[in-house]
Structure 1
Amino acid sequence: MPADVEAVAHAHRELVRVAVATHGTRGIAERVVSTVGGWVLLLDEHGALRASVPATARAHLPRIQTELSRFGAGNQLSAMTVSMPGESVAIRPVVTAGRARGFLAIGRGEPLDPIERSLVDTATYLMAEDLRRTDESRQAVRNDRRAVLQLMLDGDTERARRTASILRVPVPDGPMRVALLGVPRNHGPLLLETAEEDQALRRLVTLIAELRAGRVAVLLPTAEGDTRTLEAILRRVPHGRGAVSDSTEEAELPAAWARVRSVFQAALDDPGRLYEARDVRDAGLLRHLDGPDARAWAEATLAGLVSLDRGSKVDFLQTLRTFLANNGRADASASALDIHRHTLRYRMTQIAGALDRDLDDPTVRAELWIALQLGQD
């Protein structure tokens, strides 16, 4: 253990050296254990094990996982200490961009002293930096995929494949489907990660890209069970729904994409539902309104609400959409949003003020529902 200032400084320098040498989060964990003793578990944001130092430390995993739910109470992102038989365990969230991306649990026979806690603080910070660098690299790859996908959907397939070859972005061949998956914007990162990490899609040459927050496009080869795979993804995210095309040839992708977008805009807000673009009955009237004038009207109608939404932690657009989808029933709407009915009432007062509309008027509700559907692709 560090006994003086020089030893502490040396321990901090060693942690930084390990991080800079790209030994990754496991290398940082190993350095912590060699310095303060005990054991370390590294978990991802869902509590799954990423690393165990030493390997026998995984025996503590079930107990640590049961404690992680406490971090969700009141958006708590600070450290906690847990007492276990013969062990004192400190659990630290690894935070990037204001959310816990993982957890570090360190346990030993006696609690950490202030100097050792500062060392663990440094280790946690370095792990967050490692995640941030990984995120930046992943975002660059995502940007490449989005550029290629947009070219494919625009019908510029020859240029898309040249660009894909340069950027090393895999593109499916032969008959394929295109799908649009959507969730409220605050669940957008989860939707994208769920699609990217889906094992069934990873076995195929699939092109996945986020078009904007909460909207993910998927281009995948036609295969047995392909639509069931997309449905499974939607069931794993809150309020997920989508639309998918028939099997189509590459040259017909722009037309297929237009149908998918129209059905997605017009279809009912039914969580977990994947609509098929060939079923024009699902699109109804709104499939005829996919034009610049209609979109301009929708944008103007919702402008006040978009302004209220901007910069707020509350997704007011999704609140209104859920309220209208439940025919204005407060209890059902509050339950779907997982908030108290008094919170819903306060939000709806803000929404009515931002829109300067009477939300009890059936005509107003109908217009707002159409505007939301036209503006959500």
Structure 2
Amino acid sequence: MDADAPTLRSLLARRDLRLSLAADDLEPAALDRAIRWVHSSDLADPTPFLSEGLVLLTTGTQFPPGDDADAAAACRAYVRRLATRGVVGLGFGTEVVRDGIPPALVEACRDERIPLFEVPYRTPFIAVARANAEAIAAEAYARRSWALAAQRAIALAALRPDGLGATVAELAKQLDTWVGMYDAAGELAREHPAGGLDAETAGELQREVTGVLHRGARAGSSLRIGDTPFSLQTLGRGGHLRGVIAIAAGDLDQEGRVVVTAVIAMAGLALEQQQGLGRARSALRAGLVQSLMTGDPALARRTSRELWGPLPSAPVVVGLTDAAAARVDGIAELLELWAHEKRGALFFGRAEDGLVLVVPADDRSIIHELADRFDVRIGLSDAAGYDAFGAAVGQARVARDRGFGAVTEFAEVSHAGVLSALTDEARALARAELAPLYDHDAGQGTHLVETLQVWLDEDCSHEASAQSLGVHRHTVRTRLALIERVLGRDLSSFATRAELWAALRALGPSA
């Protein structure tokens, strides 16, 4: 930008105006405030007609003549009103009404920290106002020219091989600040300049970005981390966010926002175009998972080696997530990044009910990190070779569905036995099967359920059952015969005994 910003300092620097400060003991910042306009008035109270950020010019006709206490009080009240209204400077036209600037006015402006400057007789007020208007126009023209040049440079950057990375770098250069692009998983994918944020600020910013992505709504937001302001702009459609662009800057002016909007549009378009490629990649991975489940890993090995690197070396552990379809995209993007960084240590692909994860049996850190970051449940199989991949996926599914923690290994749930996996449907069938015995005991005061339970637990031994029940063995035989009649089942059949034993186990002691 070539033109000076329209400030009081730049206005005083105009030699053709011959303006001069009445006092030089001002704070430097007082001269660097932007001037929105220059207005002239000799009213005793012009504040109803002024707005914040103005410079006011006056000839002083509103002040009482002389330098007595009344004149000083009038000057103090006048300047105090200007300060309250947000006036950034006061120009006094000398030799029009008064010779020089009244000392009381100089003191009042010093007390209120308002810069006071002299406008000599030969400099008309209109020349001062016009000079500021020209500076404002020059500033606006320079900003528009900058915005056009910046958009042109960003458009050219987007044509480079890594269009997104080049676009982020060009935006950072144009805004002269740090810019980062986060993917749908909340990972910092690109930044410029590299390492431009300290670790603490970077971590806090990533947490903020992750929160924005989890809310899923398309929006812009501002925040401050320490002393650094940030602006966040989402990429993609609401409910299908593709990432976030973070800019280490506070409120941008209109031209700055236009440039950022152009970047958002181009980045969003590029990411939407990549989405189609991502879907194709996801479909290919899903196909390779199905190929592995057939027990023939040759195709998956060859395809993975050509596209992503070798499959993890056997023995492997297979994981299965419970991620809902709406969240799988974000997980998949992070896994793509990890698979690229850790070639040969991870393979993944969609299954019908989650993501299948394949890692070496001796390194499961990726599984635990994924579960912690996305708050998903993952089941893990026992270590297996690729020839038992289908069975391993089944183990992972059982571990996931029966586990309670973030990550559950199949070995943790397999010790509970087969019957512990019986569903509510199985228990309903068991109640129906044994209901006649429960009803008979309740109505006749018999002990058929207890006798059947003890007899089956004693491996169908009449003698052992009699001892456990404290009755004669002939009583046991009589009860078993009654059980056969009530149930209409033959207890000499192993299949019948096994089914009744399973039914009793399914219902448990509370039945």
Give the TM bin, normalised by the shorter chain. 0.5 to 0.7
Which of the residues 41, 54, 61 maps onto 2:179?
41
Instruction: From the superposition, tell whether residues 274 and 18 of structure 1 become closer, same or farther in structure 2 (CA, over 3 Å).
Output: same
Superposition pairs for residues 146-161 of structure 1, below 5 Å?
146-161=286-301
| Structure 2 counterpart of 1:28, one-letter code | T
- Structure 1 match to 2:389: 253
Q: Which residue of structure 1 lines up, in the alignment, with residue 410 of structure 2?
A: 276
Q: Secondary structure at the match of 1:155?
A: coil
RMSD in angstroms over aligned alpha carbons?
4.4
Match of 1:102 in 2: 244
Structure 2 equivalent of residue 218 of structure 1 = 357
1:221 corresponds to which letter in structure 2? P
State the AA in 2 paired with 1:276: F
Q: 1:248 Cα deviation (Å)?
A: 2.3
User: Structure 1 pair 170/149, CA: closer, same or farther in 2 (3 Å)?
Assistant: farther
The offset of 1:42, in angstroms, is 0.9
AA at the equivalent of 1:44: Y
Shift of 1:41: 2.0
The one-letter code of the counterpart of 1:58 is L
Task: Name the SS of the counterpart of 1:274 in structure 2.
Answer: strand
Deviation of 1:44 (Å): 1.9
Aligned partner of 1:77 among 218, 221, 245 = 218
Aligned pairs, how many? 282
Cα distance in 2 for residues equivalent to 1:6 and 1:128: 25
Q: Kindly tell me: are residues 287 and 83 of structure 1, through their superposed partners in 2, closer, same or farther at Cα, counting changes over 3 Å? A: closer
Q: SS of 1:103's equivalent?
A: strand
Q: State the partner residue of 2:159.
A: 20
Distance 1:72 1:169, change over 3 A: closer
Assess if the C-alpha contact under 8 Å between 1:196 and 1:202 holds in 2.
no
Q: CA deviation at 1:209?
A: 1.0
Amino acid of the structure 2 residue aligned with 1:155: G
CA contact (8 A) 2:295 2:390 kept: yes
1:102-132 deviations in Å (ceiling 9; x for gaps): 2231538xx5332331121001222223333
Mapped partners of 1:159, 1:257: distance in 2: 18
Query: Is the 8 Å Cα contact of residues 263 and 287 (structure 1) preserved in structure 2?
Result: no
Paired residue secondary structure (2:234): strand
Specify the alignment match of 1:207 in structure 2. 347
Query: Which position in structure 2 is the counterpart of 1:237?
Result: 374
State the AA in 2 paired with 1:102: V
CA distance in structure 1 between the partners assigned to 2:372 and 2:227 by the alignment = 42
Q: Equivalents in 1 of 2:199, 2:385: separation in Å? A: 52
Secondary structure in 2 aligned to 1:107? coil
1:31 counterpart letter in structure 2? E
Displacement of 1:9: 4.6
Contact 1:262–1:286 (CA<8 Å) still a contact in 2? no
Distance of 2:421 and 2:340 partners within structure 1: 31
- Structure 1 runs (4+) deviating above 6 angstroms are 4-7, 83-88
What letter matches 1:140 in structure 2?
A
Q: Which moved more, 1:70-79 or 1:273-282?
A: 70-79
3-state SS in 2 of match to 1:271: coil
> Could you say if the C-alpha distance between residues 16 and 256 of structure 1 is closer, same or farther in structure 2, counting changes exceeding 3 Å?
same
| CA separation of 1:169 and 1:154: change in aligned 2, threshold 3 A | farther
Question: Quick one: which of 151, 171, 179 aligns to 1:32?
Answer: 171
| Structure 2: runs of 5+ lacking an equivalent | 2-140, 427-511
Equivalent residue for 1:130, pick from 266, 270, 285: 270
Q: Distance in 2 between matches of 1:165 and 1:117?
A: 45
Cα pair 2:288 2:349 within 8 Å, conserved: no
Q: 1:7 to 1:260 in 2, by over 3 A?
A: closer
Is the contact between residue 41 and residue 58 of structure 1 (CA under 8 Å) also seen in structure 2?
no
The amino acid that maps onto 1:92 is Q
- Give the AA of the match of 1:235: D
SS in 1 for 2:285: helix
Give 1:217 shift. 0.8
Write the letter of the residue equivalent to 1:275.
E
User: 2:454: which partner in 1?
Assistant: none
- Cα distance in 1 for partners of 2:303, 2:334 equals 26
Distance 1:73 1:176 in 2: 32
Q: What secondary structure, in the 3-state scheme, does the structure 2 residue paired with 1:58 have?
A: coil
Which has the higher Rg, Structure 1 or Structure 2?
A: 2
Match of 1:183 in 2: 323
Partner residue, 1:311: none
User: Gapped runs of 5+ residues in structure 1?
Assistant: 295-377
Tell me the amino acid that sits aligned with residue 347 of structure 2. Answer: L
State yes or no: 1:171 paired with 2:171.
no
TM-score, normalized by length of structure 1? 0.57
Alignment of 1:291-310 (within 5 A): none
Q: CA deviation at 1:34?
A: 4.5
CA contact (8 A) 2:399 2:408 kept: no
Does the 8 Å CA contact 2:242/2:268 hold for their aligned counterparts? no
In structure 2, relative to structure 1, the CA distance for the partners of 1:144 and 1:114 (3 Å cut) is same
Q: How does 1:325-344 map to 2 (within 5 A)?
A: none
Encode CA deviations 1:350-376: one digit per residue, 9 max, x unaligned: xxxxxxxxxxxxxxxxxxxxxxxxxxx
Q: Which amino acid aligns with 2:176?
A: G
Q: What TM-score does the superposition give when structure 2 sets the normalisation length? A: 0.44
Identity of aligned residues (%): 16
2:254 equivalent to 1:114: yes
**Compared CA separation, residues 120 and 215, structure 1 to 2 (3 A):** same
- Pairwise CA distance, 1:26: 3.6
CA 1:154–1:201 in 2, change beyond 3 Å: closer, same or farther? Answer: farther
Whole-Å separation in 2 of the counterparts to 1:25 and 1:58: 20
Aligned residues of 1:29 and 1:40 also touching (Cα < 8 A): no
